[in-house]
Chains A and B, each alone.
Chain A
Amino acid sequence: AQSVSQHNHHVILSEAASLELGCNYSYGGTVNLFWYVQYPGQHLQLLLKYFSGDPLVKGIKGFEAEFIKSKFSFNLRKPSVQWSDTAEYFCAVNARNAGNNRKLIWGLGTSLAVNP
C-alpha cells in the first residue's frame, strides 16, 4: 500500500537555524509531491509542489524541497528559519495517474516550533 512517512514528529529550532524535514513515500510509479503548511489557528495551505522537471522546487517564504527519486524522498528545507515558521508541516503524495486528489496520501505531519 502507498504510504508517506515523515520522520520527525516534533522539531524545535532557534531562529536562524537551518531546517530539513524528511518525507519518504512508498510507491513505485510516477508521483506528484506536495508540502502543505498549517500555521497556528489557520487553514492548511500549499507550500510547494513537484510534478516534473527540476527536482529542486522553490516554494513560498524561502522554502524549497528536493525530489530524489532513487531515495523516494521529498525533503523540505529552509536555510534560516524564523519564529513565524512555527507551524505544522504535512507531506502528501499522489500517483500521477490518479486523476484527482482523492488519492492523496498524507504523512502524519511535523510540528515545528521556532524559538525567538
Chain B
Amino acid sequence: GAGVSQSPSNKVTEKGKDVELRCDPISGHTALYWYRQSLGQGLEFLIYFQGNSAPDKSGLPSDRFSAERTGGSVSTLTIQRTQQEDSAVYLCASSLRFSPRGLFFGEGSRLTVL
C-alpha cells in the first residue's frame, strides 16, 4: 500500500495475555519507529529500527515489551503478560533513513487490556 499499515486496528485482551501488533512500513523506508499514545499523555517513543543496525530499544518501558523487524520491512511489537497500564494506542511510523523531514504514521493499533 501507499501508507504505513498497522494491524489489528483494535485489540481487546485480558490481563496477563500476550499480544502482537504488526506494522508494515512504506516501501523503501529504512527507518521504523514505534510510539505509544496514552490518554492524556504525549507520544512516547518505544523503539527505533534503522536498516541492519542494532535497534534503539531505549524507550521500551519494561522487559515485557519487545519488537523485531524481519527483512528490514515488517515489524512486530510484542507485549507479554499485558497489564492494564499497557492500554494505549500503539503507533508505527516510517521514514527515509536519517531524515528529519517528518515521519509517516500508521493509523495505530488501539490496545485495551481488561
From B37-45, B61-69, B78-86, the one touching the partner chain is B37-45
Question: In the complex, what residue of chain A is closest to B94 when comparing beta carbons?
Answer: A101
B102 to chain A minimum Cβ distance, whole angstroms, is 4
- Interface size on B, as a range, is 20 to 34
Cβ of B48: which chain A residues have Cβ within 8 Å of it? 100-102
Binds B, one of A39-47, A61-69, A74-82: A39-47
Tell whether, in the assembled complex, residue A98 and residue B100 are in contact, meaning their CB atoms are under 8 Å apart: yes
Binding site for B on A (CB under 8 A): 4, 32, 34, 36, 42-46, 49, 51, 90, 92, 94, 96, 98-102, 104, 106-109
User: Can you list 30 pairs linking A and B with CB atoms under 8 Å apart?
Assistant: A32-B100, A34-B102, A36-B105, A43-B4, A43-B106, A43-B107, A43-B108, A44-B93, A45-B105, A46-B103, A90-B43, A92-B43, A99-B98, A100-B31, A100-B48, A100-B99, A100-B100, A101-B31, A101-B33, A101-B48, A101-B95, A101-B99, A101-B100, A102-B33, A102-B48, A102-B56, A102-B59, A106-B42, A107-B42, A108-B40
